Structure 1
Amino acid sequence: MFLLELAAAFHHAVRNEGDAVHEILGRLAELTRGGDHAYYLDAVHYLADLVPPADSTVRWTEGPDAVRDRWQSLVATRRQAA
């Protein structure tokens, strides 16, 4: 389920469909409420160029800026190819 939501969020981020991304964020927030797989929630925020929740417990090995840059690069590359 998590990967499908991530893929859908990527698709909507590429198409700049913010409302659809926000719907996915709502579903992911419910799915990750217990803390498991919370990185998906942060990743979707990054690919949509949004700020993750302040109470996020995710700690990225290379730091959040590097992760945000990678996700944004993927979205930008896909937009150029479309």
Structure 2
Amino acid sequence: MILELVVCFHHAVLGDDQGITDTIARLRDLTDSGDYAYYTDIAAFMADRPALLRSARWIEDESTVRGWCRHLVLARRSALES
């Protein structure tokens, strides 16, 4: 499962919408039991998409977590462009 989350990060950095969609679908299938379901939220946050499951209660508010996840993607994208 963690590998799929990393793959989603990769697709988000590259701006690969189809790759993101496919990876989130695989994550959703892998976490169908409820274990690690928050990975799908994190993947959606990284891709700047709405979280479909809202599977977790975050310590911070959701917008803070979303911003943190998105910042990772944008920082990596910026580093690759340099």
TM over 0.5: yes
Q: What is the total number of aligned residue pairs between the two structures?
A: 80
Which consecutive unaligned segments of at least 5 residues does structure 2 have? none
Instruction: Work out which of the residue numbers 71, 74, 80 in structure 1 matches 2:72.
Output: 74
Q: SS in structure 1 opposite 2:18? A: helix
Alpha-carbon separation, structure 2, partners of 1:73 and 1:81: 12
Alpha-carbon separation, structure 2, partners of 1:28 and 1:47: 14
Which consecutive unaligned segments of at least 5 residues does structure 1 have? none
Alpha-carbon separation, structure 1, partners of 2:78 and 2:26: 28
Whether 1:21 and 2:20 are equivalent positions in the alignment is yes
- Checking the alignment, whether the CA contact within 8 Å between 2:41 and 2:55 is kept in structure 1 is no
* AA in 1 matched with 2:14: R
Runs of 4+ aligned residues of structure 1 deviating over 6 Å after TM superposition are none
Q: Which string of whole-angstrom CA distances, capped at 9 and with x for unpartnered residues, describes residues 57-79 of structure 1?
A: 31111021111000111111011
Q: Which string of whole-angstrom CA distances, capped at 9 and with x for unpartnered residues, describes residues 10-54 of structure 1?
A: 01100000100100111111111111101100000000000011x
The match for 1:64 is 62
Alpha-carbon separation, structure 2, partners of 1:4 and 1:12: 12
